[in-house]
Structure 1
Amino acid sequence: MASMAVQLLGFFLGLLGFGGTLVATVLPQWRSTAYVGSNIITATAFMKGLWMECVWHSTGIYQCEVYRSLLSLPQDLQAARALMVLSCVTSVLAAVVSAMGMKCTRFARGSLIKSPLALSGGVCFLCAGLLCLVTVSWTTNDVIMDFYNPFLSSGMKYEIGLAVYLGYASACLSLSGGLVLCWSSCGTRSQGPLHVQRSRPPSVPPAFNNVYIPAPPYKPPDALRDNRAPSLSSVSSNGYRLNNYV
């Protein structure tokens, strides 16, 4: 019962990580305008995401434009797109495999593949969390390097957006869920043979000390006996009587 609760905890942590990764992939707040230098007082704010660029006006109006050309994008942005999409796909695969391998589901109940399925789901959650973590760490490094670059003007400098922080939280949730699933699955596999060995009924040794009653001696029936009285004048030789031939 405890391992089932642990598996459910890891599964829901992985699902939360997947939801956060999906939202972070869609949001445009990966890079926001840095208010430094002459940009301290401004009426607009620029934001850049993986799929679009947005402008926020002081009047509360948002204007977003989707990137139209994929090949014209920078290589780091293309790589970030691919990694985040791959992380989402891996999280979906992890959720499906983990759901089939958990003890609370009816799929392959009582089979030996339950534990390996849950373990595979945990490994997939770990991979999804690592992919998301690599992407947000790479973006953070690029933003910090550009911010402290003295050759860039203040209008081209950006700060870390909300989506990056959400990506960090989602990566931590996915990694935690994967670790919990792997730990619960390894614990179940190590305890499995012990339960099987204990559940075997003790074998009864064959009894060799049984005392068998000997069979009674054979006695021919009375009908087969010769009930004729032997005569005194009869002489037998080799089991044959001579008076039968004279």
Structure 2
Amino acid sequence: MATTGLQVLGLLLSLTGWAGGALVCAAPWWRVSAFAGDELVVSEVLWEGLWMTCLSQWGKVQCKVFDSGLALSGSAQLCRGLTVLSLLLCLLALPLAVAGLKCTHCLGDQQGPKASLVRAAAVLFVFAAVVFLLPITWTAYVVIRDFYDPNVAPPLKRELGPAIYLGWIVAVVMLVGGAVLYMGSTSTSAPPIISSSGRNNPEPATMEDKAAKAYV
């Protein structure tokens, strides 16, 4: 039978991952300027995200949104598209999960169709987690590759920002939430008890039945 507790827990984890994914998508903390080289300028820190860059100088932060999305590199545009796609998949899975929860009455008491809706929502959450994980991992790979590339000038080198680490955590939470939501919607029926003669065991006779047989 479908377990309400697992369904609610999986939905809460998925929603937590979705909210964290929206924060990671909007945050300008994907890449941070690296102090690589002989000259260290510790008073200025440059933060870069998918939508804006921020410059921290002597405790003051100034942010600027990218003027043109088409002027960005193909890698940055792909990361934008994948993160937005992941959030849209979660938005699509949310009403399906809520309508299919065992504790809701959107579809009455039809547990079969409701369980199918929850399983579909769980698959969407898991797929969204995988899609969200791709731009995070790719950005981390590019940052590490350029950092150790001697052909890249030191002022252009970057390090992993906190949004990358948070993105990995968000993807795992979303993935676990979808898996728990799916497990909570699976139906398992107890197997029938078979006697040694190969037939189903009859129900034990009650005291009234025994008394009636004795009277006859």
When normalised by structure 1's length, the TM-score is: 0.74
Return the letter of the residue paired with 2:116.
P
Report the Cα distance in structure 2 between the residues aligned to 1:192 and 1:113, rounded to whole angstroms: 21
Cα deviation, 1:18-37, whole Å, max 9, x if unaligned, reads: 01100000000000011222
Residue 32 of structure 1: aligned partner = 32
Structure 2 residue identity aligned to 1:87? S
Aligned residue for 1:109?
108
> Where do residues 148-167 of structure 1 align in structure 2 (5 Å cutoff)?
148-167=148-167
Distance (Å, rounded) in 2 between the aligned partners of 1:7 and 1:105: 11
| Residue 83 (structure 1) aligned with residue 82 (structure 2) | yes
Provide the rounded CA distance (Å) in 2 between the counterparts of 1:49 and 1:96: 30
Equivalent AA in structure 2 for residue 63 of structure 1: Q
Offset from partner CA, 1:12-64 (integer Å, 9 cap, x none): 00000001100000000000011222353421011110001110012x11111
Distance 1:155 1:106, change over 3 A: same
Q: One-letter code of the match for 1:184?
A: G
Amino acid at match of 2:153: S
Q: Which residue in 2 is equivalent to 1:10? A: 10
Shift in CA distance, 12/130, structure 1 to aligned 2, threshold 3 Å: same
Verify the 8 A CA contact 1:103 1:109 in the aligned structure 2.
no
Q: Which residue is 2:97 aligned to? A: 98
Specify which of 184, 189, 192 is matched with residue 191 of structure 1: 189
The residue type equivalent to 1:97 in the other structure is: L
Distance 2:48 2:39 in 1: 17
Match of 2:131 in 1: 131
**C-alpha distance in structure 2 between counterparts of 1:192 and 1:117, whole Å:** 23
Query: Whole-Å Cα distance in 2 between the matches of residues 99 and 185 of structure 1?
Result: 12
Deviations 1:166-210 (A, max 9, x none): 111110011001111111212x2x33998xxxxxxxxxxxxxxxx
- In the alignment, the residues of structure 1 paired with residue 146 and residue 162 of structure 2 have an alpha-carbon distance, to the nearest angstrom, of 18
Provide structure 1 residue ranges, at least 5 long, that are not aligned to the other structure.
Answer: 195-246
Cα distance in structure 1, aligned partners of 2:7 and 2:191: 20
Q: In 2, Cα distance between the equivalents of 1:5 and 1:130?
A: 25
Provide the aligned C-alpha RMSD in A.
1.8
TM-score by length of 2: 0.84
Does residue 43 of structure 1 match 2:43?
yes
Instruction: Tell me if structure 1 keeps the 8 A contact 2:2–2:115.
Output: no
Residues 51 and 191 of structure 1: is their aligned pair in 2 closer, same or farther, counting only changes over 3 Å? same
| Alignment CA distance shift 1:117-1:2 (3 Å) | closer
Higher relative contact order (CA 8 A, sep 6+): 2
Q: Which residue identity is paired with 1:182?
A: Y
Change (3 A) 1:2 1:127: closer
Whether the 8 Å CA contact 1:31–1:49 is kept in 2: the answer is yes
Distance 2:190 2:11 in 1: 21
- Please identify runs of 4+ aligned residues in structure 1 that moved more than 6 A: none
Q: Is 2:2–2:102's contact at 8 Å kept on the other side of the alignment?
A: no
CA distance in 1, matches of 2:71, 2:158: 20
Distance (whole Å) between structure 1 residues aligned to residue 184 and residue 47 of structure 2? 42
Residue 71 (structure 1) aligns with: 70
Q: Any unmatched runs of 5+ in structure 2?
A: 193-216
**Counterparts of 1:39 and 1:180, CA distance in 2:** 50
Q: CA deviation at 1:120?
A: 0.6
